[in-house]
């Protein structure tokens, strides 16, 4: 079996492009879950705000800190997803480029 065929088989089994795309999807999924849980926590605090008494302001302050941290985290995660997408696209372009198809390259 030729080296070229071995490389094709390896790439079809171990496809870094697809693996990166899967990781991007997983990051997006995690970001969505984190944001939904944060919204749920906020809704819970708002639903019970009348019964929190003197703890209301400290809970709202803590919730604000949590929301700021979550925004920083999710924005960073989405930036990583964007970088991974660029890397995946560049990798895919390289892998789909057949240097033997166009001798001018």
Segment 20-67, tens digit of pLDDT: 889 999 999 999 999 999 999 899 988 988 898 888 889 889 999 999
Contact by Cβ (8 Å): 78, 35: no
User: What is the pLDDT, as a whole number, of residue 83?
Assistant: 94
Higher pLDDT, 1 or 68: 68
User: At CA 82, angle to CA 76 and CA 85, rounded to 5?
Assistant: 145
Average pLDDT for the chain: 84
Is the pLDDT reported for residue 68 higher than 90?
yes
d(CA 100, CA 14): 23
Residue 71 has pLDDT above 80, yes or no: yes
Q: Please give the pLDDT value at position 19.
A: 87
d(CA 70, CA 64): 10
CA-to-CA separations, 41 to 44, 62, 76, in angstroms, rounded: 5, 11, 21
For residue range 81-91, list pLDDT tens digits in order. Answer: 999 999 989 88
Average pLDDT over residues 66-72: 93
């Amino acid at each position: 079996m030729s080296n070229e065929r071995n490389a094709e088989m390896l790439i079809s089994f171990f496809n870094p492009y697809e693996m990166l795309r899967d990781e991007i999807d997983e990051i997006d999924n995690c970001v969505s879950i984190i944001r939904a849980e944060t919204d749920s926590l906020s809704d819970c605090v708002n639903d019970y705000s009348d019964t929190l008494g003197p703890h209301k302001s400290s809970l709202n302050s803590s919730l604000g800190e949590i929301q700021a941290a979550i925004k920083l985290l999710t924005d960073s995660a989405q930036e990583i997803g964007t970088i991974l997408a660029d890397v995946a696209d560049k990798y895919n372009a390289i892998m789909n480029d057949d240097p033997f198809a166009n001798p001018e390259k």
